[in-house]
Amino acid sequence: MSMYGVKEWGYGFFGVNSKGHLVVHPTRDENLSCDVFDIVQHLRKKGVDTPLILRFPQILAARVTELNEAFHKAMREYDYAGSYQGVYPVKTNQIKEVVDQVVKAGYKYRYGLEAGSKPELMIALSMNLHPDALVTCNGYKDETFMRMALLARKAGRNVLITVEKMTELPMILKVARELKVEPLLGLRFKLNAMGSGKWESSAGDHSKFGLNTQELLEAVETLEKKGLLDSVVELHFHIGSQITDIRRVKTAMKEATRMYAKLYKRGVPLKYLNVGGGLGVDYDGSRTTFSSSMNYTIDEYASDVVYTTQDVCAQEQVPVPNLLSESGRAIAAFHEVVVVDIIGLIDTTHTKYRVELTGNEPQVLKELAYTRDNLSVKNFAEMYHDAITQKDELITLFNLGYLSLDDRAKGEILFWEVCRKLSKIFSYKSLKYIPEEFQDLSKSLADKLIANFSLFQSMPDHWAIDQLFPVMPIHRLKEKPTISATLCDITCDSDGKMEKFIDLKDVRDEISLHEPKGGEPYYLAFFLTGAYQDILGMRHNLFGAPTEAHVVVNEDEDFKVQQIIPGDTMDHVLRSVHYDPDELVEGPTRRRQNKSDAGEALKALLTQQRSLPTYLDTNER
């Protein structure tokens, strides 16, 4: 594995320079690069603190190009008679600058947008899309949603409504009749084939969305009777996000294309087969079917989709459909990096005292000291068991009143000295493996670095579904890491921690890092967080969205900070839970008759803090 696996998961977008700093290559061209540590230093000088979201719009553009070109290449290779048009699902990351950039990069590819709610449809309709680009409407819809979509269609936009449930059909017909507009419709089909990994329940008989075969036939008959069969232009399916195994894509394509062909032969004039989302992101770089990885490339994905569609259509002797896809994760994940700084270390085993015995101590202390002094790589298992017994005895004797406070303190320090020695032994290269019974201990001996961020805000999927994201320092990469650590965030929630890290062969319980140097910041970055994390992130403990900087990389390792979007202020998060910050500032002193200096000082401090970010002020260190 390369340094922190950056070559494997970084996909050419990230690397390390000769200074030992993280660099970004936003177009995947090695000659266009910029030092991420320099960006952070530059922002700090401007008063922008960590935690910090860095967005690289060029990466978004590169991903849009790559997806479209992959399909075009596959279509040229197989002489495919149809075309490809993608839509970006707005739900993946709705932030205006993200959607703007995707739309801009996709214009020449007639790239459109997918909306799953009324506000998302408002976003999609406001964008400057290519006139031939599609806006697809998925998810549950009410009459107003239909009205918005159909009015937009009447106004000349290519808005395609995907029917997800039978009950939507009468609603569409009613509003279309009222508005005197012919709708553009898609039918979502419940495939039997399922994806793989954490999102596989998005498909199959019991999935939340889509019509089964009988319902598909009923929908076709209803539309035929109303003279609207020509409106049905799309067959849609989605087998779940983050498909890890390419075989699932092939199986789904076979089933979906067969369904397309049978409906076509039944007289439904389908023009598009929409293969939904699901194109994965290799978060750990292992190229496996593990849930945070994928065993295929974007080119292989496009190639398999195109080839299978063509193959089944040839067997069925029907014209090939134009292909539509709704990849979100694969477009948005790479462009965002979250930079945090380490503000402290919780280390239960470090102590500044070393216990030296005089010979007059109670027996249990002498035994613990013996264990500490004689523990070695050859006997650590039995010695550690002795230490456990001795520690138990220490506590029992203390509880019975036989030991003093000093004795207990010395005993505890001796025990932790044993643990530290053990932790050094675990880090020996010559120790081929750590026995199973010691694996949890090895984890609990790892240093816990406290980082100034909220896991719930910045990587909610790590907390919620154990998704792995790459983590690495953005500097000191020429130095050998000296500590094995896990990470804690600053929320008051014991789940706000990272104890699982990427590895090519396994999942690691710790990450090797550098010991923070007093007075110098130590920055870590979390990668591939651009899809779903921003919007799923929550204000646990009222830690809000971090400040964002949008950075464009120019020639000669130069960069330009296009814009800085301040993070949520205290005012903002307090209002979000219905407090009036004006009242909160007055609150502590309101009931006091006489003004006191402390009361006034408190009011002044609260007033000043209102407009500041919610995270710890690292300038205070």
How many Å apart are CA 143 and CA 175, to the nearest integer? 7
Nearer CB in complex with ligand PLP: 188/550 = 188
Which amino acid makes up residue 352?
K
Who contacts 185 (Cβ-Cβ below 8 Å, separation ≥6)? 160, 161, 162, 163, 172, 223, 228, 231, 232, 233, 234
Nearer CB in complex with ligand PLP: 92/257 = 92
Smallest separation, CB 418 to ligand PLP (Å): 48
Kindly give the interhelix angle for 405-426 and 363-374, rounded to the nearest 10 degrees: 20
Cα distances (angstroms) measured from residue 40 to each of 34, 424, 452, 474: 11, 34, 15, 9
Can 492 be counted among the known catalytic residues?
yes
End-to-end Cα, the chain, rounded Å: 35
Nearer CB in complex with ligand PLP: 189/264 = 189
Who contacts 379 (Cβ-Cβ below 8 Å, separation ≥6)? none
Which amino acid makes up residue 80?
Y
Tell me the residue nearest to ligand PLP as measured from the CB.
277
Smallest separation, CB 329 to ligand PLP (Å): 4
**CB atoms inside a 10 Å sphere around CB 269:** 11
Smallest separation, CB 97 to ligand PLP (Å): 19
Nearer CB in complex with ligand PLP: 292/327 = 327
What does the chain come to in residues?
621
Question: E-strand spans in 301-440?
Answer: 322-325, 336-346
Smallest separation, CB 461 to ligand PLP (Å): 12
Nearer CB in complex with ligand PLP: 137/368 = 137
Smallest separation, CB 118 to ligand PLP (Å): 17
Who contacts 164 (Cβ-Cβ below 8 Å, separation ≥6)? 138, 139, 140, 141, 188, 209, 210, 211
DSSP character at residue 478: T
Smallest separation, CB 338 to ligand PLP (Å): 19
How many Å apart are CA 160 and CA 183, to the nearest integer? 7
Binding site residues, ligand PLP, CB under 6 A = 89, 92, 138, 238, 241-242, 276-279, 326-330
Nearer CB in complex with ligand PLP: 88/559 = 88
Annotated active-site positions, please? 492
